[in-house]
């Protein structure tokens, strides 16, 4: 149980960090202010501010986010007239820190009763200082000033010149695409690592790699590097055809045509019966020939990633052409259940799961659904065609609708997963 939980947190954490780092890196590269980089959701556990970004760790390890200045979900907490706050000024009497939190005390801070502000264009704030309502004080605010939010998190204010919409369209497209892109890159690296952990890459040949001890293959006299070219007079040219032919003959005496050292031999074998999901299949105890070359271990990361992408896309197409079922989806509960199974098989299985989930996350995020990266890319494309962006109000409504849809879907999928895996 503890092993599964730790594995789940590590796997999910790696997926989130790598995905969000893609958005973070390209946003920074484009001059977009990243106000917060959060791992986890919900209440804050700890945070620290470095450069222009605040890094936070939150209590629920079920996601994360990069909070970029000026996008729909980067709304400052409402600053309402009458709100008490305190200000820190520099030697030029410019505000460098605005505290709106009751959890934080700014020593040497100037207490004010807030009246109004412009923290995006002209950078000023007004209020009554020390309770003196006879004089309205106006303070200039530094471009890189910090604001302490109600939960005590320090983030930088978001002047207009560092907001998301101030970046070029191309840079915004790259920033939106970078998260899924990083997931695909992670999968490639994970599959390369898996190839090295396994000592090589499985070939799809009809040549035997190893013979298992006390197996039907060992008793029949099969040896490593033998090529099985026919099973019960049925030709086999690759591993898929070979295993399919043997699987169809449980407990049946079977003739194998084998090439050994350039000579053809006939070996009689009886595949052992193995029951899976009430279906009997035959097995003889052989493993596929492995390719141990360095170059194939590297290329395996690319070929296997492409294979998984193709299979997932095929499933998605099938879902929308043949009908969609909640069983076609899997949320955190399903991932936890699969992680538990992978953890029981060892590190190689966990690495393989990480690669598969990373590709899943990348593809799902590219779906053209508002609030997902794919939906944002659609808006970028529309902007490119129109020659001007969609109004922030309309974009906010579209994003809100998409977010509501995702939340409803997540609730339904989670409930379905609980019933599937625990009842």
CA dihedral angle for residue 210, residue 213, residue 216, residue 218, rounded to 10 degrees: 70
First to last CA, the chain: 18
Interatomic CA distance for residues 14 and 20, integer angstroms:
10
Give yes or no for a contact between 165 and 379, defined as CB atoms under 8 angstroms apart: no
d(CA 308, CA 358): 10
Quickly list DSSP for 327-384. GG---HHHHHHHHHHHHHH-HHHHHHHHHHHHHHHHHHHTSS-TTSHHHHHHHHHHHH
Residue 10 CB partners (closer than 8 Å, separation 6+)? none
Residue 52: phi, psi to the nearest 5? -110, 5
Give the number of C-alpha atoms closer than 13 A to the C-alpha of residue 217, restricted to the C-beta side. Answer: 21
Q: Which one from 20, 36, 154, 395 is the annotated catalytic residue?
A: 20
Report the alpha-carbon distance of residue 201 to residue 182 in Å, rounded.
24
CB of 209 within 8 A of CB of 287? yes
Beta pairing class for 136-148 and 154-156: antiparallel
Instruction: Please say if 134 is a catalytic residue.
Output: no
| Rounded CA separation 120/270 (Å) | 78
DSSP 8-state code for residue 421 = H
Rounded to whole angstroms, the Cα distance separating 368 from 380 reads: 12
H-type alpha helices, 62-155: none
Torsion of CA 363, 391, 38, 378, to 10 degrees: 10
Looking at the DSSP bridge assignments, the partners of residue 54 are 36, 49
Distance CA 14, CA 354 (A): 8
Kind and range of the H or E run holding 340 = helix 332-345
User: What span, in angstroms and rounded, lies between the C-alpha atoms of 297 and 299?
Assistant: 6
- Write out the H or E segment, with its range, that includes residue 98: strand 94-99
Question: Which residues participate in catalysis according to the annotation?
Answer: 20
């Amino acid at each position: 149980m503890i092993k599964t939980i730790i594995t789940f947190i590590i796997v999910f954490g790696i997926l989130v960090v790598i995905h969000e780092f893609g958005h973070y890196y390209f946003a920074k590269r484009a001059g977009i202010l990243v106000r917060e980089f959060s791992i986890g959701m919900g209440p804050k556990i700890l945070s620290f501010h470095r450069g222009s970004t605040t890094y936070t760790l939150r209590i629920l390890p079920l996601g994360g986010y990069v909070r970029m200045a000026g996008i729909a979900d980067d709304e400052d907490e409402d600053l309402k007239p009458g709100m008490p706050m305190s200000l820190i000024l520099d030697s030029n009497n410019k505000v460098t820190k605005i505290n709106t939190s009751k959890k934080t005390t700014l020593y040497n801070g100037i207490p004010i009763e807030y009246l109004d502000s412009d923290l995006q264009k002209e950078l000023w704030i007004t209020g009554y200082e020390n309770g003196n309502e006879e004089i309205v004080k106006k303070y200039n605010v530094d471009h890189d000033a910090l604001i302490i939010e109600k939960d005590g998190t320090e983030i930088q204010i978001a002047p207009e010149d560092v907001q998301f919409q101030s970046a070029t369209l191309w840079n915004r497209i790259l920033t939106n695409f970078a998260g899924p892109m990083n997931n695909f890159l992670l999968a490639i690296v994970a599959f390369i690592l898996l190839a090295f952990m396994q000592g090589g890459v499985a070939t799809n040949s009809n040549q035997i790699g190893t013979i298992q001890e006390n197996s039907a293959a060992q008793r029949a006299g099969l040896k490593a590097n033998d090529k099985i070219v026919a099973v019960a007079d049925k030709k086999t040219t690759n591993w898929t055809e070979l295993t399919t032919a043997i699987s169809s003959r449980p407990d049946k005496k079977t003739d194998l045509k084998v090439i050994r050292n350039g000579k053809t031999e006939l070996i009689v074998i009886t595949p052992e019966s193995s029951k899976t999901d009430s279906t009997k299949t035959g097995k003889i105890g052989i493993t596929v020939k492995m390719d141990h070359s360095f170059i194939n271990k590297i290329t395996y990361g690319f070929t296997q990633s492409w294979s998984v992408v193709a299979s997932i896309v095929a499933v998605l197409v099938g879902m929308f052409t043949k009908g969609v079922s909640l069983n076609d989806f899997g949320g955190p509960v399903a991932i936890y259940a699969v992680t538990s199974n992978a953890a029981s098989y060892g590190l190689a299985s966990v690495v393989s799961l990480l690669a598969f989930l990373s590709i899943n996350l990348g593809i799902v995020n590219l779906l053209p659904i508002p609030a997902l990266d794919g939906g944002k890319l659609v808006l970028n494309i529309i902007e490119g065609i129109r020659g001007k962006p969609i109004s922030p109000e309309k974009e906010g409504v579209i994003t809100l609708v998409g977010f509501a849809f995702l939340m409803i879907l997540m609730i339904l999928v989670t409930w379905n997963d609980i019933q599937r895996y625990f009842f």
